[in-house]
């Protein structure tokens, strides 16, 4: 079996960070199941530099297309330098965010519908045949995500100070992504206790990894 590449995505405040931490602990307890935990944008030095630019005032003020191109460049560096070598070595990859965020944030939240077709074309160019195995999207209502991210100090993203309709548009973007490639996306209800969410989350990951 080929090692899977699993993307975990959702609104800021959806609880994906907590779910990934819980998974890491559980995988370790179960006899050290090997996984690569990584994060977008970032994961390799060039992508970390792009992340810094993206999160600067200049990056935040950039147009949807400019931001998208930064994200695709960062993603390709991340695939070449981190994800693909791990998969080639047989290590499953758990990626905090993926291209689903580019559709949700750059195309939907930033209201650039003219980029939707480009999004799917860029996806082909950047991933080639090696698209992620599965996307797990943790879904919460926009109000819940916004309240959580405003009260959670560990979130420093400039996206977190956005109004409610921004969160609604991001959520719409994830929903469009899921509908476009339904066999690749699982949506989990994140509006429950972390333990309840983890039951579903762990089951999906363990099945996908063939544990």
Among 4, 7, 36, 41, binds ligand TYD (CB under 6 A): 41
102 binds ligand TYD (CB under 6 A): yes
* Residue with smaller CB distance to ligand TYD, 71 or 79: 71
Residue 111 binds ligand TYD (CB under 6 A): no
Least distance between ligand TYD and beta carbon 211 (Å): 26
Q: Which of 4, 79, 95, 97 contacts ligand TYD by CB under 6 A?
A: 97
Check binding of 71 to ligand TYD (CB under 6 A). Answer: yes
**DSSP letter for each residue of the chain:** -PPPEEEEEESTTSSHHHHHHHHHHHHHHTT----EEEESS-SSHHHHHHHHHHHSHHHHHS-HHHHHHHHHHHHHHHIIIIIHHHHHTT--EEEES-HHHIIIIIIIITT-GGGHHHHHHHHHHHHTT---SEEEEEE--HHHHHHHHHH-TT---GGGG--HHHHHHHHHHHHHHHHHSGGGEEEEE-SS-HHHHHHHHHHHHHHHHT-
Quick check: 139 binds ligand TYD (CB under 6 A)? no
Q: Does residue 157 bind ligand TYD (CB under 6 A)?
A: yes
Count of residues interacting with ligand TYD (CB under 6 A): 12
Stretch in the footprint of ligand TYD (CB under 6 A) among 95-103, 111-119, 171-179, 186-194: 95-103
105 lies in the site for ligand TYD, by CB under 6 A: yes
Please report how close the Cβ of residue 125 comes to ligand TYD at its closest, in angstroms: 15
Which residues are CB-contacts of 195 (< 8 A; sequence separation ≥ 6)?
Answer: none
Residues at the site binding ligand TYD, with contacts judged by CB under 6 A: 12, 17, 40-41, 71, 97, 101-102, 105-106, 157, 159
């Amino acid at each position: 079996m080929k090692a899977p590449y699993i993307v975990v995505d959702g609104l800021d405040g959806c609880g994906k960070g907590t779910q990934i931490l819980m998974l890491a602990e559980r995988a370790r307890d179960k006899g050290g199941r090997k996984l690569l935990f990584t994060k977008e944008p970032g994961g390799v030095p060039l992508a970390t530099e792009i992340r810094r630019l993206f999160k600067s005032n200049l990056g935040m003020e950039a147009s949807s297309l400019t931001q998208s191109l930064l994200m695709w460049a960062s993603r390709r560096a991340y695939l070449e330098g981190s994800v693909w070598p791990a998969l080639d070595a047989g290590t499953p990859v758990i990626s905090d965010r993926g291209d689903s965020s580019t559709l949700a944030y750059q195309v939907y939240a930033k209201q650039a519908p003219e980029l939707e077709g480009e999004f799917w074309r860029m996806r082909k160019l950047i991933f080639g045949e090696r698209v992620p195995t599965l996307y797990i999207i943790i879904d919460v209502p926009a109000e819940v995500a916004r309240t959580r991210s405003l009260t959670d100090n560990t979130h420093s993203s400039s996206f977190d100070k956005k109004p409610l309709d921004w969160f609604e548009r991001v959520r719409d973007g994830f929903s469009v992504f899921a509908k476009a490639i339904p066999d690749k996306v699982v949506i989990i209800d994140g509006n429950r206790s972390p333990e309840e969410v983890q039951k579903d989350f762990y089951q999906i990951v363990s099945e996908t990894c063939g544990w």
